[in-house]
């Protein structure tokens, strides 16, 4: 049943009501459209106001009917007017929330919703995505009733609540609108309990919605913000060995796949395997389908890279997604230069040289600082320091090893070298290097995508890793992230998110 909601000067057409659900669910749906919290909603129906426990058969509401809504939307947070409350004065549960607020808010599990919670925590870690959602507004009456719009509004509200709260947040409205937009997430098992779902499917469907709704406010062409942030460009060449026919195509996807086989031990090996894109395609010469050998290279790199570890495949005999448990080591710093097109490599060369010069200078400064010893420590300390330096590769003499002739020649001024390095770095400031730093990992523990448990691990700006296990936040060390590579029944990486490493501003 569809109705019209009139709220002040705004009208929402074709708002769908599921008459099998209580009125309280409808109020959360109205909240996702208007921002008016359920407790402040006054919806006029036959006989008075709509109550949470009302059944639709008793309200007399009919399809196409106009419902009047009274109530004010949430306001922006205001400056505090009361005296500050100290942490030790708070109740114990509030002390815990205040202590972890700097790392974000946990999400309460609403019954096998860890797949959704872990997806949201990873995406929440992208500040540009939060900003794009924050400025998202109603696109008009026709689009405002679409499920994609309602889901974007629900994500906007949820991310805002996560930023303000610090305490665990209950994502009820978001879950409700997700299931409306994508009914597969509303599947129920025996006993009527909602089924566990595949986190990668949730991630992909949510990205599809956000790509449809969010535009880049800084782009004159109003390009989709999701494509700007996550879009990976591919150039693919296809050749039929039987006929010699060739095809070329350019595509964009929101992730990079890592296929897993018996020969794959490293992430880069799985990426290389996934870029072999053999497929069946219609052959004009044969007048039917033929096998084309395909190979792809990356033609565009985004600010944020999602890598899908293809760990699940459908097993017909048990009719479920089986899991590949093989250990695949993923790096904290991923370099994609060798997977790029020649044109893209040329674009990356300058920034890579500039970044390398900055790193070399920092290493040289560190060695120089280490070699300085206070005079009062005497020659003994100096000799020890010299011995340590002589063990480094940089301290080898001609008799110890071959010397790169590019380093030969008359000595140059260090200040002149520093100026040249600074000039090169400034020219490429902000440039993409083709290198990526790991910032989030979504893991799965269990043997099937539709069972087990999903968790997210997110690196904070301070460098601290935090494990988001539904409503619980656990501080982790970076060496613990290496244990997520797989090979057993522990949490193993399923989706990886990397941030582009750029040349820093001078």
List Cβ<8 Å contacts ≥24 apart for 391-395.
Answer: 392/367, 394/367
- Which tokens go with 489? 């029944």
Euclidean distance between CA atoms 485 and 490, whole angstroms:
9
Q: Is the dihedral of CA 198, 204, 208, 210 positive or negative?
A: positive
Q: What is the CA radius of gyration of the chain?
A: 28
Residue 114 is among the residues annotated as catalytic for this protein: yes
Strand-pair partners of 457: 441, 467
Pairing of strands 66-70, 2-7: parallel
Active-site annotation holder among 114, 202, 240, 258: 114
Q: Which of 257, 307, 275 is nearest to 438 (CA)?
A: 307
- Kind and range of the H or E run holding 154: helix 147-165
Side-chain-side CA neighbours of residue 116 (13 Å): 28
How many whole angstroms from its chain centre is CA 63? 40
| DSSP class per residue in 380-424 | HHHHHHHHHHHTSGGG--TTTS---GGG-SS---HHHHHHHHHHH
149, 240, 444, 453: the active-site residue: 453
Name every residue whose Cβ is closer than 8 Å to that of residue 219 and which is 6 or more positions away in sequence.
228
Element spanning 34, H or E: helix 23-34
Among residues 182, 119, 131, 147, which one has the least CA distance to residue 455? 119
The catalytic residues are 114, 453
């Amino acid at each position: 049943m569809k109705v019209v909601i009139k709220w002040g000067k705004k009208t929402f057409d074709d708002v769908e009501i599921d008459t099998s659900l209580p009125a309280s669910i409808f109020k959360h749906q109205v909240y996702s459209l208007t921002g008016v919290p359920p407790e402040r909603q006054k919806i006029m129906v036959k006989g008075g106001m709509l109550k949470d426990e009302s059944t639709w058969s008793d309200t007399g509401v009919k399809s196409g009917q106009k419902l009047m809504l009274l109530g004010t939307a949430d306001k922006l947070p205001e400056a505090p007017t009361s005296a500050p409350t100290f942490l030790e004065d708070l109740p114990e549960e509030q002390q815990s929330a205040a202590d972890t607020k700097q790392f974000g808010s946990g999400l309460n599990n609403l019954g096998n919703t860890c797949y959704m919670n872990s997806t949201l925590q990873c995406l929440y870690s992208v500040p540009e995505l939060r900003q794009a959602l924050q400025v998202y507004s109603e696109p008009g009456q026709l689009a405002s009733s679409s499920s994609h719009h309602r889901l974007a509004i629900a994500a906007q509200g949820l991310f805002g609540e996560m930023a303000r709260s610090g305490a665990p947040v209950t994502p009820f409205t978001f879950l409700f609108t997700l299931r409306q937009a994508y009914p597969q997430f509303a599947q129920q098992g025996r006993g009527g309990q909602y089924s566990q779902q595949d986190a990668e499917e949730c991630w992909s469907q949510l990205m599809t919605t956000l790509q449809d709704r969010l535009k880049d406010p800084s782009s004159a062409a109003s390009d989709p913000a999701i494509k700007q942030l996550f879009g990976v460009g591919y150039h693919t060449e296809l050749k039929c060995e039987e006929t010699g026919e060739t095809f070329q195509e350019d595509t964009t996807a929101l992730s990079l796949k890592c296929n897993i086989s018996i020969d794959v031990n490293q992430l880069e090996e799985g990426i290389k395997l996934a870029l072999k894109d053999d497929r069946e395609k219609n052959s004009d010469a044969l007048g039917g389908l033929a096998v084309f050998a395909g190979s792809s290279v990356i033609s565009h790199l985004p600010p944020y890279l999602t890598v899908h570890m293809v760990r699940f495949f459908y097993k017909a005999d048990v009719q479920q997604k089986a899991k590949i448990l093989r250990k695949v080591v993923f790096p904290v710093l991923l370099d994609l230069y060798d997977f790029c097109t020649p044109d893209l490599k040329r674009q990356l060369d300058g920034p890579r040289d500039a970044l390398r010069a900055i790193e070399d200078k920092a290493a040289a400064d560190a060695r120089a600082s280490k070699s300085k010893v206070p005079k009062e420590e005497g020659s003994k300390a100096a000799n020890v320091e010299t011995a340590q330096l002589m063990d480094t590769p940089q301290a080898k003499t001609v008799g110890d090893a071959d010397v790169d002739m590019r380093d030969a020649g008359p000595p140059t001024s260090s200040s002149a070298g520093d100026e040249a390095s600074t000039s090169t770095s400034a020219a490429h400031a902000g440039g993409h290097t083709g290198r990526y730093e790991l910032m989030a990992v979504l893991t799965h523990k269990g043997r099937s995508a539709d069972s087990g448990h999903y968790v997210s691990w997110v690196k904070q700006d301070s460098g601290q890793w935090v494990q988001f296990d539904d409503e619980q936040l656990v501080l982790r060390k970076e060496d613990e992230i290496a244990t997520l590579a797989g090979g057993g029944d522990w949490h193993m990486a399923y989706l990886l998110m990397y941030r582009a490493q750029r040349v820093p501003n001078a």
